Amino acid sequence: MMIGNGEKLTSFQVIMLVVTCRLLINYAFTPAFNLPPGNQDAWIIDVLSGVYILVMYLPVLFLSNRFRGIPPAQYFEILLGKYLGKFAGFMISLYLLFFAFFFSVIFIDFIKSSVLTTTPVYAILILLLVIAAYAAYIGLDSIIRAAELLIIFIMFIIIAFTVLNFNNFDMQAFLPILHDSNIFQLNLSAISLAGRFCDGVMFMVIIAYMDKKYSVNKTFITTLLLFSSFAVLLTVTTEAVLGADYAKRLNFPYYTTTQQINLFDFIQRIEFVNVIGWIFGFMIKISSFIAASSLVMRDTLKTKSNQIFIIPMSILIMVFILMTDITKNAVYRKIIYVYAPYLVSAFTYAFPLILVIVYFFRRKKLKAYGK
């Protein structure tokens, strides 16, 4: 099967890829701890953010339903005209490439700080991008098939590690609920967390290749419920074991949580299983973003294949990482918590909303396209 050549995805495949991509951010950072109030009510932020993501993604869902089966780069031109449409497609492709670059930085930071502490950055980067470029070159459909298996493995180990950590749980860490925070503050943080849902653009791209017998809305809601449930579980487990105050000081709090497992001195030091899931998960995330970026570029420039863009894109990622200081922890974390919400909101919320407004102004002319 080759996406874009007539083959279609199932709803399950779309769900598994987007959940894999999204869940890895919580798997790595449990970001709710780094948002106000940063206390025992952090898990409430995860719950509320799912609601805001659904509301914010209504324009994307509208466009995905109205232009069913049409890649975004093509309906950009339908709505905005040839030149503005191409510019929009080019920017979406760059957006996806930027996050492939950004997730590569996160991958390097984790590997350098936990596994290969003495290995040079360039060696890790070359290995990562060779694998990611090869996977993207084979095709997004192959990446999706790998994601189908991997996300089940990741979900299993999240549940298993929660159970194995029961003896370390301190339920007092959640009390008193809403004593040191208020609903308004929690909602603002939930909106901020929803603004980090960069994987929604991936959904917008691949949903065009989903078989029309499946519902776009049901697929998105199922995706949202699934990763939101596991995001809450990750936050709750981390808070119960480490406490919110300690967790927000750590670079990778959930990884530290898994290191606490010591059941009767028999089951211990099994965080390497977490590392395996983390590494393969980010391989899929990075390769899928490169593949999706190349697909959008193909549709924008109307080339025969997306493969011609994959190697140049991978080289571009490598050059930018090696030439900048972004691999320093403080640099990219500032991007995550300060700048990322604005960038994501512009591309996944504001831009689709503008397209919806344009659609209603031009709906009579769009009848020629059957839309």
Question: Which CATH number goes with the domain that contains 227?
Answer: 1.20.1740.10
In DSSP terms, 191 is beta-bridged to none
Report yes or no on 195 lying in a domain: yes
Full residue range of the structural domain in which residue 223 is found: 11-369
225-238 pLDDT tens trace: 999 999 999 999 99
Tell whether 1 is covered by a domain: no
Coil/strand/helix, residue 170: coil
Confirm whether 2 is domain-assigned.
Answer: no
The whole-angstrom separation of Cα 327 and Cα 104 is: 9
Rounded-to-integer distance, Cα 313 and Cα 90, Å:
13
Number of structural domains (the chain) is 1
Q: 317-362, pLDDT tens digit by residue?
A: 999 888 877 766 667 777 777 777 888 889 988 999 999 999 998 8
pLDDT for the residue numbered 1: 44
Instruction: Indicate whether 6 belongs to any domain.
Output: no
Q: Could you tell me if residue 126 is inside a domain?
A: yes
**Region of poorest pLDDT, from 5-14, 259-268, 294-303:** 259-268
352 in a domain, yes or no? yes
CB of 1 within 8 A of CB of 145? no
- For 59-75, the pLDDT digits (tens) are 999 999 999 999 999 99
- Specify if 116 maps to a domain: yes
What H or E segment, with its residue span, contains residue 192? helix 183-194
C-alpha to C-alpha distances, 332 to 61, 109, 200, nearest whole angstrom = 30, 10, 21
* Burial label, 117 (beta-carbon count in 10 A; 0-12, 13-18, 19+): exposed
Q: What is the pLDDT of residue 324?
A: 79
Distance CA 270, CA 136 (A): 31
The pTM assigned to this predicted structure is 0.92
The answer to whether position 281 is within a domain reads yes
- C-alpha 60/C-alpha 158 separation (Å) is 30
